[in-house]
Structure 1
């Protein structure tokens, strides 16, 4: 199918997905279900989980639990739609590739830019939240938090420099330990839940739930990450649905369990805290709190940075290949290769963001909202592509329609942050016009 086309053959008979050569271990040269699930869960849970229960409760009180439930419910149709697209069109471009197939290359460039240039901002935010937990345990204040965040970023980007198999194995081990610690914290603290901590349920009014949702979209981001890695799986058509089902289940249990435990156990004492998970663990496991919370903070933050660095680097290479970025970015973008040039650009941008954070009074909640509005814009474009490309009335198509309606409605809560996607669209269009002008100059005698 040519870009922008939607021929019926594509709708009913997607191109066969070639299997990656088996290495004799049963998992193939590409990443397997365990590594893929770990990358997926790490991308979705992320460092934001460390701070979001307190931030959402500050905005909406106990009614923030409704916002968490909405986010979890949205995970199902959105994840199923992206999985369906990933199995049909496995490519490092992810959503940008889907938008190209549905609406043409001109529409895909700003979508690709929105994800690519948000990745280093989101990664800095996730790593800094983890750094705050380290600072809370070790002391040293903001300086310790910044140094810890920098270490998390360096380890994740270096791991990806040596290839996805290396970063995938690191993620698998870390996510397994992370699940054990998080679930232990939740279930040991839950018996201390107090009904009075849920009253008044909506102290700031019901509209405040919408404000909490805009923050929580930071935790919603990540379901598109595996679409950028789909070409790296040994058998994406078989693996991606399993990975998605496993990931949705894990994410739902952790999100809802941790949010309810924080609100029900901690109550108003959590408001304004930068380390609500530390407070929760103090109630549940006592003396071992500091060591455990630092471990969890590092694992959560690293999981986000690692997964988004991997998917963002591959997106940058795909954009270079397709003309959405300079051709220089394309090197290393083929399946099994390492897109080091694209990865280096992401690392450079992350370094600049960290330098800004070190001198400017920018709040983490503002960074989260900025990243969230760009992620939601990308999701809207991806789901619109799914509505056009997937077979009508299939389960994945219905999920795409539901998710698209919900996400378009959520954009109204972002207010002035909506200027960010508008700015990126303008910059992407400016880049396209410059590229076209240069192409005309090269072909003109």
Structure 2
């Protein structure tokens, strides 16, 4: 589940979006974000081992800063998930539709099936979700590695020049959308309470996940630029193009199947983590109390899952009608998740032992995350609105308590 949360659908389309923003220099954004991931992942694993709870980052912020800040963080993540799962499902739909020639309507239908299947899987229970995640994750990693190896002979040094066509600011723009692919540690933190032995298992899982995403992300980013050249910024399905360059057009159905696996795995993991977060928020009084039902370890928070599903379906209808594009959805999700990451890092600076190498790394990652948020521009209004809604709910609940 942790690997599926981080190894998300960003690898399917973000190499192209980043290339469109910064050209070959987008590789710098990939490297910087991967370096930032090390202290982020290590700190969240350390906090999860100390405080295993379905609230995840919100729990850490509650302990470090206070309940009001924790409520805001919880609303940030909970509000971001419906946007993110629609974007993820849409990516999978585009790959399948592109392989069989179904067009935008077909892509929307496939996205709807992915979302419905993930909601059903989570409604049955986390144990089944974990088994599905293990199967999909293994198959996906193999296909992505094959795409990198197949396209490697097509890599040309000429495709890396000019290296910085848009200036240094373009690297920041690329990083702001690429954050979508690096934000899964927040989703995984909500599953800490499900581990039999978090102190032993979380660090081990984190190390393995870091190794997997480093190899796959850098491999895909490098071969997308080196093999596709200028075409990297003009395609919505870079994995398909990589496989086609290395194997031939017969690889297109393989890419579509891989996209479907990856999309389902990511949507499945995010819904699993966020549904438990919603239950934890209801339990702690940061959201309506009825959301708390089913939030205990081993249970299924179906009410929280239903809220997420309803929001995602509504947003999917709006996006399918042409009122939102994929780039905006991914940037909006990345903005909210970057805000969650920054809050989690602030909590880590308070809760973890000070002046250790990990603590210093957390500080550096906090600075980089804040810089990524600056490049989000007007999309920063989304976490601001969610923060206002969270604080408004807490104020209303307190006023009602006084009235009683």
Using the size of structure 1 for normalisation, the TM-score is 0.89
Distance 1:374 1:99 in 2: 16
Distance 2:192 2:374 in 1: 32
Name which of 389, 392, 397 aligns with 2:354. 392
Q: Residue 128 of structure 1: SS of its match in structure 2?
A: helix
CA distance in 2, matches of 1:434, 1:72: 41
1:34-433 correspondence runs (5 A): 39-433=1-395
CA distance in 2, matches of 1:73, 1:303: 24
Checking the alignment, whether the CA contact within 8 Å between 2:148 and 2:220 is kept in structure 1 is yes
CA distance in 2, matches of 1:92, 1:411: 26
Superposed displacement of residue 138, structure 1: 1.2
Task: Tell me how far 1:129 sits from its aligned partner.
Answer: 0.6
Residue by residue over 1:247-301, the C-alpha shift from the partner in whole angstroms, topping out at 9 and shown as x without a partner, is 0000000000000000000001222211111110001122431221011100111
Structure 2 residues without counterparts, runs of 5 or longer: none
Q: Hey, what's the Cα distance between the residues in 2 that align with 1:395 and 1:248?
A: 18
Instruction: Kindly indicate whether the alpha-carbon contact (under 8 Å) linking 1:377 and 1:421 is maintained by their aligned counterparts in 2.
Output: yes
Higher deviation after alignment, 354-363 or 177-186: 354-363
CA contact (8 A) 1:80 1:399 kept: no
Query: What's the CA shift string for 1:312-368, capped at 9, x where partnerless?
Result: 000000000000100000001111111111011101111101111111331111111
More helix per residue: 2
Which 4+ residue blocks in structure 1 deviate beyond 2 angstroms? 393-399
Q: Does the Cα contact within 8 Å between 2:150 and 2:242 map onto a contact in 1?
A: no
SS of alignment partner, residue 118 of structure 1: helix
Structure 1 distance, partners of 2:218, 2:187, is: 22
Q: TM-score, normalised by structure 2?
A: 0.98
Distance of 1:108 and 1:185 partners within structure 2: 41
Offset at residue 303 of structure 1 (A): 1.4
Aligned residues: 404
Post-superposition Cα deviations, 1:70-110, rounded to whole Å, max 9, x if no partner, equal 11111101000100100000000001111111111111111
- Secondary structure at 1:295's aligned position in 2? helix
Q: Structure 2 CA distance, aligned partners of 1:74 and 1:299?
A: 27
Q: Once the two structures are superposed, what CA deviation does each residue of 1:358-408 show, in whole Å capped at 9, x if it has no partner?
A: 113311111111111110111111110110011112343233212112112
Does the 8 A contact of 1:84 with 1:396 survive in 2? no
Moved more, 389-398 or 265-274: 389-398
Contact 1:133–1:297 (8 Å) recurs in 2: yes
Q: Deviations over 1:174-229 (max 9, x none)?
A: 11011111101101110111111111111111211010000101111101222101
Alpha-carbon distance in structure 2 between the residues aligned to 1:282 and 1:186: 12
Larger radius of gyration: 1
Q: Distance in 2 between matches of 1:45 and 1:253?
A: 11
The answer to whether the 8 A contact 2:79-2:386 is kept is no
